[in-house]
Chains A and B, each alone.
Chain A
Amino acid sequence: MSVDTGGRLRGVDAVTAGRLLVPVALVLLWQALATVAGEFALATPAATVGELLGGFADGWLLADLRITLFTLAVAYALAVLVGVWVGVALGLSDFWREVFEPLILGVYSVPKVTLYPVFLFVFALGVESKIAFGWFHGVFPVAILTMAAMETVEDDHLKIGRSLLLSRWQTFREIIVPSILPGLVIGLRLGFNLTFLGVVLGEMFASRAGLGYTLVEYIVGAQIARMLAIIVVLVAVAAAVNVAFFAAEKRLGARGGETADVRM
C-alpha cells in the first residue's frame, strides 16, 4: 500500500519535472536557432525578454494588452451568452436541433477568416468588427458543445423541475447547468481559444490598436525582438486561461466519472 503511494508520488513528481523541463528545452532550442539564424531573422530569448520588460516599462505593451483583453472579454462574454443560450434551446427540442444542427456544423467548418471582409463592411474598422469577429469564432464551439452536453440532462430531472413548478431560470440554473457542466466547460475552453484567435486576427488585418495590430507593425518593420515579445504575451494569456480551464475540467471530470459509475 505504502509502496504504491510512494510510486504514484514519484510518478507525479516525474511528470511535474518533465512539464517544467519542456519549456526550458524549448527556450534552449530557440537560443540555438537564434544563434544559427542571426539576429535579423530571429531575436534571442534574452533580447526578447529585454523588449518584454521594456515594453511593460514604457507602457506600449501594457496599453495594447489592455485593448486586446478588453476586446477579448467582450467578444467572449457575448459568445458564451449566445452560444449557451442557443445550445440549451436547441438541446431542449429535438425538432429545432435537427433543423439547425447541420447549419451550425456547416458554418463552423468554414474558415472564418474568409468572411472577414463581410465583418469589415458591416462594422467598419474598429473595435466593433474585432468583437464581432472574435464572437463569430467563439460562439460555434460553445453552442455545439452545449448542445451535445444537453444530451446528458436526465428527462426525470426536468420532470421533477416541472412538478416543483420551477421557473425557466431556476430550471436552467439549478438543473440544466449542473447537468451539462462537464461538457460545457470543454465548450467554454474551445470557445475561448477560438474567440482569442478571432480577436487577434481581427486586430492583425483590420484595426488600429491592440496586440495583433502592433504585431503586424513590428513584422512589417522587422523589429524581431518586439514581435517576439508580443507573441510571448499572447502565449502567456492563452496558457494561463487554458491551465485554469484544464484544472476545472479535471475536477468536474472526476465528479462526472463517479456519477457515470453509479448510473451503470
Chain B
Amino acid sequence: MLEIDNVSKTYGLGDDRTSTVKALDSVDMTIDRGEFVSIIGPTGCGKSTLFELIGGLVEPTEGRIRIEGDPVTGPDPRIGMVFQSHSTFPWLSVLQNVTFGLRMNGVDKAERRRRATEMLDLVGLTGFENARPSELSGGMNQRVAIARTLVMEPDIVLMDEPFGALDEQTRLILGEELLRIWRETGATILFVTHNINEAAQLSDRIAVMSARPGRFKAIVENDIPRPRDGDTMTTAAFNDLVQRLWNELKDESRRGLEQKTGRRVDAESGDGAEAKAETRPADT
C-alpha cells in the first residue's frame, strides 16, 4: 500500500532563495497493492514533482509518503522509476543496461544474465541483447528502460510520461504491452501522463491534478472492463470517460497555459467537440 498523506512541496526560487513557489498543495491519496493509477494534469502542475517525491529523490515540505506504513526518506529499493525518454545508458548494450542495477547491487553474473534474459523476453526485446541504444527506436529504448527498472523487482513502479516522446501507434502498442507486463508482475503502477486517452486506456483510477499549485482536483474510477485493447478505445464508455476527464481538466489546462505564457487564454475555446480533437494522443 502506498500512502500519499497530505503532501505539499514548496521550492525556493532565485539566487537568494527568498521567493518561493508552491508546486504541490495537500496531495492526498492511498493506492492499493497491484493498482494501476494514472496522474494527469496540465503543464507545470507538479506531476513530475510528485513523481520525485514518491521516488524519494526530493523531500516533501509538509506531509508524508509511506510504503506499507514506512515513511519514505530517500530512494527505496521497493520503488522503481522509469523516466520520460533517453534514459537508457548509450554507452552500454541493451543487456548491460538491463543488468546495470543488479550489477551495482552485487548480484552475480549468472543470476544477472538469467533475470535480464527473462525481462528482455517480457518486454519483447529477445535477440537485441548486444544492440546499442543508438541502434534502437525510441519505443524500443523505452522497453529497455522499463526492463532495467522491472528487473529489480520493485513493488511499486513509477513512470513519468514514459511514452511521451513516442508516436501514437508505438504509444498504443506499448500501452497494451505495459498492461500485460503489469498483469504478469503484479506490481503497483503509478503512471504520470498528460495524455487523457492513455490514462483512460491503462488505469484503474485516474487522479486529475489542478494547475499550480498542484492538487488532486478529482480522482476518477475507471470501470471499463479489462482486458482492454485497441477496440476498447472506440466504445461509448471509453469516450464518456475521456469526456469526463477532459471536463475536469480543461479549466486547469487553460490556467496552466496562462501560467506558462503569462497570457490569458480565451475561456470559450474548450467546448466538447474541440475537446475530442485535443485529447487525441497525436496532439499531445
Dominant secondary structure at the B interface: loop
Judge whether B75 and A163 touch: CB under 8 Å: yes
Judge whether B83 and A174 touch: CB under 8 Å: no
Convert A241-264 into 0s and 1s, putting 1 for each residue whose CB lies closer than 8 angstroms to a CB of B.
000000000000001001101110
Closest B residue to A167 by beta carbon equals B104
Which B residues are within 8 Å of any A CB, using their own CB? 52, 55-57, 75, 77, 79-81, 83-84, 86-87, 89-92, 100-101, 104-105, 132-134, 148, 152
Closest B residue to A261 by beta carbon equals B134
Name 30 A/B residue pairs within 8 A (Cβ), A-sorted. Answer: A154-B86, A154-B87, A156-B83, A156-B86, A159-B81, A160-B148, A162-B75, A163-B56, A163-B75, A163-B79, A163-B80, A163-B81, A164-B75, A164-B100, A164-B101, A164-B104, A164-B105, A165-B105, A166-B104, A170-B104, A174-B104, A178-B91, A178-B92, A255-B90, A258-B134, A259-B134, A261-B134, A262-B133, A262-B134, A263-B86
Could you list 19 further interchain pairs (A-B, Cβ under 8 angstroms) beyond the known A163-B81, A258-B132?
A156-B83, A156-B84, A157-B87, A157-B89, A159-B52, A163-B57, A163-B75, A164-B100, A164-B152, A165-B75, A166-B104, A170-B104, A174-B100, A178-B92, A258-B90, A259-B134, A261-B134, A262-B90, A262-B133
Residue of A154, A156, A162, A181 ringed by the most chain B CB atoms within 10 A: A156
Which A residues are within 8 Å of any B CB, using their own CB? 154, 156-157, 159-160, 162-166, 170, 174-175, 178-179, 181, 255, 258-259, 261-263
Judge whether B90 and A159 touch: CB under 8 Å: no
Docked CA distance A216–B208 (Å): 78
Judge whether B81 and A165 touch: CB under 8 Å: no
Given known A174-B100, A174-B104, A259-B134, contact A162–B57 (CB-CB < 8 A):
yes
Which residues from chain A contact B80 at a C-beta distance below 8 Å?
163
A-B contact count (CB 8 A): 58
Closest A residue to B79 by beta carbon equals A163
Given known A160-B83, A174-B104, contact A165–B89 (CB-CB < 8 A):
no
Which residues from chain B contact A170 at a C-beta distance below 8 Å?
104
Docked CA distance A181–B83 (Å): 23
CB distance from A106 to the nearest CB of B (A): 21
Closest B residue to A256 by beta carbon equals B90
Which residues from chain A contact B91 at a C-beta distance below 8 Å?
178-179, 181, 255
Closest B residue to A258 by beta carbon equals B134
Which residues from chain A contact B100 at a C-beta distance below 8 Å?
164, 174
Docked CA distance A255–B52 (Å): 31
Which residues from chain B contact A166 at a C-beta distance below 8 Å?
104
Docked CA distance A160–B88 (Å): 10
Which residues from chain B contact A160 at a C-beta distance below 8 Å?
81, 83, 87, 148
Residue of A159, A160, A163, A174 ringed by the most chain B CB atoms within 10 A: A163
Docked CA distance A175–B80 (Å): 18
Docked CA distance A258–B148 (Å): 22
Contact of A163 among B55, B90, B105 (CB under 8 A): B55
CB distance from B169 to the nearest CB of A (A): 20
Docked CA distance A179–B132 (Å): 15
Which residues from chain B contact A255 at a C-beta distance below 8 Å?
90-91
Closest A residue to B92 by beta carbon equals A178
Which residues from chain B contact A178 at a C-beta distance below 8 Å?
89, 91-92
Which residues from chain B contact A263 at a C-beta distance below 8 Å?
86
Docked CA distance A163–B56 (Å): 8
Shortest beta-carbon contacts, A-B, top 5 = A178-B91, A156-B87, A156-B83, A259-B90, A258-B134
Which residues from chain A contact B104 at a C-beta distance below 8 Å?
164, 166, 170, 174
Docked CA distance A258–B134 (Å): 6
Closest B residue to A95 by beta carbon equals B15
Closest B residue to A159 by beta carbon equals B57
CB distance from B258 to the nearest CB of A (A): 27
Which residues from chain B contact A164 at a C-beta distance below 8 Å?
75, 100-101, 104-105, 152
CB distance from B275 to the nearest CB of A (A): 32
Docked CA distance A261–B138 (Å): 12
Which residues from chain A contact B148 at a C-beta distance below 8 Å?
160
CB distance from B98 to the nearest CB of A (A): 13
Closest A residue to B51 by beta carbon equals A159
CB distance from B14 to the nearest CB of A (A): 12
Judge whether B83 and A159 touch: CB under 8 Å: yes
Which residues from chain B contact A181 at a C-beta distance below 8 Å?
91
